[in-house]
Amino acid sequence: MMKKLTTIPIAAAMLGLGATSSFAQIKVTDNLSLSGFLDMSAYGEAPKEGDATLNAGFDQFELDFMYKFGDKISARADISQGGVGGGSGAVHLEQGFVSYSSNGFGFSTGRFLSVSGFESAEPTGLYQYSYSKNVFYGGYQNGINLSYSTGMVSLYGAVVADLWSNSESEILNTPGFEGQIALAPAEGVTLKATYLYQMLDDEDTLTLDDASQQLLNVWGSYAAGPITVAAEYNMLIDWVVPEDGALVNDGMGHGWLVMANYKFTDFVAATVRYSGIILGDLDPDTEVTFSPSLALSPNWLALAEIRYNIDAESTQYGVESLFYF
């Protein structure tokens, strides 16, 4: 499947033509509001050798419940069918957590999404249809997080059962740790650096023996007027990778992403992206993507995409209908 790999769902201004921070929520009561989306697509591939493919179907439905209890306490529960962690379209609790915030300080407990990575886990936060080659971010996590923000500088830390698996609940033997510093030094500029450290044991499919797995994710973006540009770098540390014909537990990987989105009008925009990954002694795996978008209404976005996998010499293509509320 072209798109559905693997923070909190991010809506898009004018249906994805420029990322923003929240949906236009539907107010149910003074304390409860709702938002959500419907995502459908057709996608295919034309490989260098072999037959071309074309598939179409329903990708994801999500309904998000936001609760407010006074000025300091809130709660959120996202119910989803399909999408990240959705298996074969099963209805599941994507995330659910309770938060406290006051004077720049905050903490949450429950299941929540990792703060790592430039590209959103949800289609409503992407500038194009597919994910990049650089998506090794943390996933939905069970645990607790703490944060502090002055506006220009924000700090975040979390202790979780597993950084990459939301089904893990045992936390004492193999906990995961995540920390981030975020800077907003000037208008339109965002800089973030996140470090993830996951303890592993010999029963974990991500390791060959007792070990750890680490990820350093750094990205920056600049948005001004109709243009948004971003660059990202991932350093994978102590991952299982091939080296000299065998798998090693202390391998390195390097991933990158650069992208630009331009909004021609309030209804038409386009994105260009280049990304790649190198794992161990494998050859680089790179791609370049072009994705135009059209706002059909204030709540309905149509996307098209053509993506050329440079090293595999294959072309992927897709169209998407994204309706959100």
Supply the pLDDT for residue 281: 83
| Residue 198 near residue 204 (C-beta atoms within 8 A) | no
Q: Quick: pLDDT tens for 196-244.
A: 999 987 665 555 555 789 999 999 999 999 999 999 999 999 887 777 7
Q: Quick: pLDDT tens for 285-315.
A: 999 999 999 999 999 999 999 999 999 999 9
| Nearest Cα to Cα of residue 108 among 58, 64, 74 | 74
Q: Quick: pLDDT tens for 4-37.
A: 333 222 223 323 343 433 456 788 898 999 999 9
Amino acid at 160: V
1-5, 169-173, 190-194, range with the lowest pLDDT: 1-5
| pLDDT, mean of residues 47-61 | 89
Following CA atoms 111, 85, 148, 175 in sequence, which dihedral angle do they give, to the nearest 10 degrees? 70
| Residue 183 near residue 156 (C-beta atoms within 8 A) | no
Q: How far apart are the C-alpha atoms of 307 and 102, rounded to whole Å?
A: 44
| Residue 278 near residue 253 (C-beta atoms within 8 A) | yes
Does residue 87 surpass a pLDDT of 70? Answer: no
For residue 127, how many other CB atoms are within 10 A of its CB?
Answer: 26
- CATH number attached to the domain at 12-324: 2.40.160.10
Q: What is the Cβ-side half-sphere exposure of residue 132, based on CA atoms within 13 angstroms?
A: 28
Tell how strand 140-149 and strand 189-200 pair up. unpaired
| Nearest Cα to Cα of residue 217 among 140, 119, 124 | 119
Residues 6+ apart with CB under 8 A from 87: none
Going from N- to C-terminal start, the domains of the chain cover 12-324
Amino acid at 78: D
Q: Quick: pLDDT tens for 88-145.
A: 567 999 999 999 999 999 999 999 999 999 999 999 999 999 999 999 999 999 999 9
6-20, 47-61, 220-234, 251-265, range with the lowest pLDDT: 6-20
Supply the pLDDT for residue 108: 98
> In the structure encoding, which two tokens stand for residue 251, read together?
């391998």
Q: How far apart are the C-alpha atoms of 177 and 143, rounded to whole Å?
A: 10
| Residue 129 near residue 149 (C-beta atoms within 8 A) | no
